[in-house]
Structures are given as structure tokens and as C-alpha cells.
Amino acid sequence: MRRFSIVLMAMLATVALGACKSDPKVTAKEALEKGNQHAAKNKYPEAIIEYRRAVQADPRLGEARLQLAYARIAAPVSGRIGLRAVDPGNIVRSGDASGLAVITQLQPITVIFTTPQDNLPAVLKRLKSGEKIPVEAYDRDQKTRLATGTLITVDNQIDTTTGTVRLKAQFPNEDGALFPNQFVNVRMLVDTLREATTISSAAIQRGAQGIFVYVVNSDLTVATRPVKLGPVEGPNTAVESGLKPGELVVVDGADRLREGAKVELANREAGKAAPVGDGSGKKKGGRRKKGGEKNGE
């Protein structure tokens, strides 16, 4: 590498030496600096232009630069380099699978996650429309948002063993919050429901009659009400039909209830269920939660 550098520097110095011939009082260093100043202003002395052309036409200049490039190892991509796979003194070959080290791209970084196949039509509809689907990455506890990105593609087949399809999202990761092979929880905004009625997912019951909830009447008795469910967001589930905003539903103790059973509202300040009756064997209600919460999204 040193030999190639010397050859290249010597050939480029020809330009400065040629300028010295036009003015014997000017040193090679001064001529080169003067030539660079004129080059910056796009004003070249004729002598320098002539010698530049001579040097550029010399085939040895390109060969010297090529040999110099071979003597240097440059990374093909930017990213984080891992621990070196070789030590000083090891013999390396061009065909080594491990190479010298592994470089992992971090900016941008992609995340692969899965979604149930039932959600696929809605996702594909938005992708075909050209809209960018926002995706958020959270930590393992789903409390801290690590990064925000967009969905870029969907896999071409469904996994028949799990009934899910793989999706890939891309994150700029400018702050380096995401790390290769890190476990994250992904939330993807596919659609926004305006003025949606939501209830706690714990209130949903399933039986022979289908999906239903226990609704608390004005006389504090419960009645089963079939409902049609919508999307699920965290601990809440949207209800498309079967409930009205403001109605009360049972979220705890539903397994001990039956049609027409009487309950009492929970003590919300204490956070505990209030007993029903005087302990004579009547059914007890659990904690109650008002249904029909308005959810902006």
C-alpha cells in the first residue's frame, strides 16, 4: 500500500513541477497550492492545464489508483460491526464464509411480525390504496414505545400451522433504540373507528347461544345480551351492535350469574366487589364497569 501511495503522489506532483518550470522562483509546494486555488475558481494557468492533461492521460495513473484501492478494505454498507472473527496472524482467504467481521445495518432497520389471517384483507386494502400504514414498536412490557415506522410489505403465503401471515415494517431508528434480534411488541394502525362503543374484553362471554354479555338493568338484575364484536385494542373490544352507550355490563363474577340474578354495583372507591344479600345463598355480583365508552380511535 505504501508503494502505491508513493507512485500516485509522485505522478500527481508532476503537475506542480511543470508549473515550476514556467516560473523558476516558485517552489513546487507554492505552485501546487496556487494551482489548487485557481482550480477552485475554475481559472487554470495554461501550464498547469497542460500538465494536468498529461498526467490524466498517463495510463499508469489509473493503474496506481486501482492498486491503491485494492490495498484498502472498505465496508459495502454502513452499520454496526460485530466482534472480529479473526486475530492478527490468522490466514484469511477470499472464500471464507465468516469473513473478517459481520456488519449489521441499523438505519433503517426492519421488524418482521405476524398478524391473524382474518386481518389480512383490511391490511391489503390499505396497502393497495397507497396509504402508509403506521407501525409502532414497544418493549416487552408494552409500556414504552421504542420507535415508529411504516409497513412496507406482506408475505406471499399464510402459515397453515398458526393461521397467521408475516409482515415487514421499516423504522428509521435514528436514535438506535432498536437492536438486531431484539424482541419487540408491534402495534399497527389499520383503521380508525369514529364514535365506537367499547367494553372491557373481560365482559365478553361465549356460550351455546354465541357471544353475549351480562347487562345490568335499572332494577340491578342482569340479562344476557348477544353482541357483535369489532376490533380489539389492548384490554378493550369494540362492539358493533347489541349495546348502547351508557349501559352497564358485568366484568367479574359472570360465571356465577344467571338470567335475572340480582347484583349490586361494586364499591369503586375500594376497588372490591360488594356482597349481595345477607349471605343466604343468593348469587353474588362482581365488579361492574360501565359499557359504551366512547373511543376516538
Among 56-60, 243-247, 267-271, 293-297, where is mean pLDDT lowest? 293-297
Q: Model confidence at 166, in pLDDT bands (50, 70, 90)?
A: very high
Residue ranges, CATH 2.40.420.20, the chain: 196-295
Place of cell 352507550: 245
For 124, the grid coordinates are 391489503
Q: Cα(285)–Cα(262) distance, rounded to whole angstroms? A: 8
In degrees to the nearest 10, what's the CA dihedral of 50, 51, 53, 58?
Answer: 150
Supply the pLDDT for residue 280. 40
What confidence tens digit (pLDDT) does each residue in 59-100 have? 676 777 777 777 777 777 888 888 888 888 888 887 787 778
Q: Cα(294)–Cα(124) distance, rounded to whole angstroms? A: 28
For 44, the grid coordinates are 487554470
Q: Candidates 3.40.50.1220, 3.50.50.60, 2.40.420.20, 2.40.50.460; correct CATH number of 196-295?
A: 2.40.420.20
Contact 105, 173 (CB under 8 A): no
Q: Model confidence at 33, in pLDDT bands (50, 70, 90)?
A: low
Residue ranges, CATH 2.40.30.170, the chain: 109-188
Supply the pLDDT for residue 57. 65
What confidence tens digit (pLDDT) does each residue in 112-154 have? 999 989 888 989 988 888 888 999 999 998 889 999 999 999 9
Task: For residue 228, give Cα distances in angstroms to 107, 139, 198, 237, 239.
Answer: 43, 32, 11, 10, 6
Place of cell 492478527: 88
Supply the pLDDT for residue 2. 47
Task: For residue 79, give Cα distances in angstroms to 73, 75, 76.
Answer: 15, 9, 10
Supply the pLDDT for residue 154. 92
- Work out the percent of the chain whose per-residue pLDDT is above 90: 17
SS3 of 27, please?
Answer: coil
Q: Over range 49-55, report the average pLDDT.
A: 63
What confidence tens digit (pLDDT) does each residue in 201-244 have? 888 888 888 888 888 888 888 888 888 888 887 788 888 888 88
CA angle, residues 144, 145, 147, in degrees to nearest 5: 145
Please tell me the pTM assigned to this model. Answer: 0.55
pLDDT at 110 over 90: yes
Q: Model confidence at 272, in pLDDT bands (50, 70, 90)?
A: very low
Closest CA to 293 of 255, 254, 241, 236: 236
Kindly give, in sequence order, each residue whose CB lies less than 8 Å from that of residue 31, ignoring residues fewer than 6 positions away. 16, 17, 19, 20, 23, 48
Greater pLDDT, 198 or 62: 198
SS3 of 208, please?
Answer: coil
DSSP run (H or E) holding 256: none
Supply the pLDDT for residue 40. 52
Supply the pLDDT for residue 183. 93
Among 164-168, 227-231, 260-264, where is mean pLDDT lowest? 260-264
What confidence tens digit (pLDDT) does each residue in 9-20 have? 555 554 444 444
Q: What is the CATH number of domain 109-188?
A: 2.40.30.170
Kindly give, in sequence order, each residue whose CB lies less than 8 Å from that of residue 284, ignoring residues fewer than 6 positions away. 253, 256, 263, 273, 275, 276, 277
